[in-house]
Structure 1
Amino acid sequence: MIGVVPAPRTVIEAFLPFEGEVGLGLVYDTANAAGVGDQPLRLAIRRMAAAGEVIQTGRGRGGSLALTGRGRERLLRDRLGLRLAFAQDAGEAPWDGCWRLLAFSVQEDERSVRDTLRRRLLDAGAAPLTPGLYVSPHDLTGMLDEPAQLIRATARELDVRGVTAPLAVAERLWPAGPIAGGYAAVEPVIAEPAADPLVQQLRLAEALERAIRDDPLIPLELRDSPWAPARIRRAWLAAWNESSDGRLYRGWLD
């Protein structure tokens, strides 16, 4: 039995449709089957409701849950990265050869704003070049909410402390080893599926989410070939399609 237990939030988000609602009885029962207890699930729902991401109607297993506009925007933003990963793996999103530079346009004394920008840039996969200056091989416009607070530029060449070759730059800024190592837990989940298809999908979702969380999704042109995470994601997608019956993450790969 694979020891991957999905996070309560993973279970909740898996069932939430973009439109409409889901009965909490199914959510609780599937969470329990996957090893998630009622109390952690209730706590996750409360936190998501407090953040304005979901609305709960009714109580306990007899209630239902629906996304708010804010929650829908958050999930859409999260899924941009997933769609990019699969597009890159399929050869449908080649690198255009441009580096995107992003700098803060925020006063030095606005520390909380600067900290928020820094965190969101890092979460989007950008790497720091100097304090306040970040770089990415991707256009991160859709991943960031603060376009007016950023100064942007595009460069065809990048010199990082004397390193100029694109693959070497990528390795300097986004070392491959830790990223590839993060996918080690995905393959066992694929190889030993759970008997319950819904539980298996939750385990697959949790394993990939953990791996992709710290993956900046550098274009394959900037990695040595073969790139193990791409191979594992392709195997993951095949396993997901085989186990999916359309009840979880409806539309998330569209």
Structure 2
Amino acid sequence: MTAAWTAASTPAPVPAPRTVLEAFLPLRGEVGLDLVYDTANAVGLDDQPVRLTIRRLVAAGDVEQRGRGRAATVRWTAAGRERIERDRLALRLVRAQDAGAAPWDGRWHLLAVSVEEPARSVRDALRRSLLAAGAAAVSTGLHVSTHDLSALLGATDRRHLVLATADSLEVRGLADPLALAEQLWPAAPVDRAYDALAAALARPPAPDPLVQQLRLADALERSLRDDPLLPHELRPRPWRPAQLRRRWYEAWGALAEQLGERALYRGWLET
């Protein structure tokens, strides 16, 4: 039994309610919840989890809702727009890397957390944010990244960081960049995470192109979730995640052309 046959015969995972909502929300303007709920239903989600997600995002100050039920509309707040713009930076980075437009400059970016002991919760939250942004911990309070993460960090976070760059780095006796990358960001678990994307690309497309786009968006999000997005120079060649993403871009572009103004996540892939 081949992996492609297994993927094609396995039902597509149900996207997260948050993925469904964010897929429809334009950066400016609003979207009607009737369209959000109808498409969520089409991919296997009931109204209730979508409704709860909207409530959480409203409570967090990321979106605002006008009206009630399916007749309501939602839009980003300024805070929500800032957060989603940071998410788009990561997607644009990987798109540029895959297109060969963002080669590694050979520099390591060091981030040291500098927080007073009484503010332990601030320190712990900042460390989680750095790990989520793809940085790796190399010692207590010190993280390293192959990218400048300043655009992904808010002004509050930057006040608690000491930032530096280096042209060379040695960690526990390792100085070769490829060996360091494998030590700090092992390739195998990142590669395995892209099984979700491989499966989505192998399944027969959904009859509704909007549903198919949503499934592809969910598969890419699942695969990218724990990917530190290292430059290609620091990964094995060929790098399967990059190959799968290129196939994804082609499939996504064809669907976007078919859907026109109805396409999801318009503008996310510009480099």
Q: Same fold (TM over 0.5)?
A: yes
Calculate the aligned-residue CA RMSD, in Å: 1.0
Shift of 1:224: 1.2
- Secondary structure of the residue aligned to 2:194 is coil
The structure whose residues are more often helix, as a share, is 2
Q: Tell me what 1:113 maps to.
A: 122
Q: Tell me what 1:216 maps to.
A: 228
CA contact (8 A) 1:56 1:63 kept: yes
Q: Tell me what 1:251 maps to.
A: 267
- For structure 2, which runs of at least 5 residues remain unmatched after alignment? 1-9
1:240 equivalent among 252, 255, 269: 252
Q: Tell me what 2:171 maps to.
A: 160
CA contact (8 A) 1:100 1:138 kept: yes
| Alignment of 1:37 onto 2:46 | yes
| Alignment of 1:49 onto 2:58 | yes
Q: Tell me what 1:99 maps to.
A: 108
Distance of 1:26 and 1:224 partners within structure 2: 42
CA contact (8 A) 1:186 1:211 kept: yes
Q: Tell me what 2:3 maps to.
A: none
Per-residue CA deviations over 1:137-173 (Å, capped at 9, x if unaligned) read 1000101112121101111111111111100000000
Aligned partner of 2:199: which letter?
P
CA contact (8 A) 1:2 1:188 kept: no
Shift of 1:188: 2.1
Aligned residues: 254
Per-residue CA deviations over 1:176-231 (Å, capped at 9, x if unaligned) read 00000000111221222111111111110111101101000010001111111100
Distance of 1:127 and 1:151 partners within structure 2: 15
Aligned partner of 2:175: which letter?
T
Shift of 1:104: 1.1
Distance of 2:209 and 2:11 partners within structure 1: 14
Aligned partner of 2:120: which letter?
R
CA contact (8 A) 2:12 2:215 kept: no
Sequence identity percentage: 61
Shift of 1:106: 1.1
Q: Tell me what 2:208 maps to.
A: 196
Q: Tell me what 1:125 maps to.
A: 134
CA contact (8 A) 1:2 1:189 kept: no
Q: Tell me what 1:139 maps to.
A: 148
TM-score (norm 2): 0.92
Distance of 1:109 and 1:168 partners within structure 2: 37
1:61 equivalent among 70, 73, 79: 70
Shift of 1:108: 2.0
CA contact (8 A) 1:103 1:134 kept: yes
Per-residue CA deviations over 1:66-100 (Å, capped at 9, x if unaligned) read 11001111110011111111110110000000001
Distance of 1:253 and 1:221 partners within structure 2: 22
Distance of 2:209 and 2:29 partners within structure 1: 23
1:14 equivalent among 4, 12, 23: 23
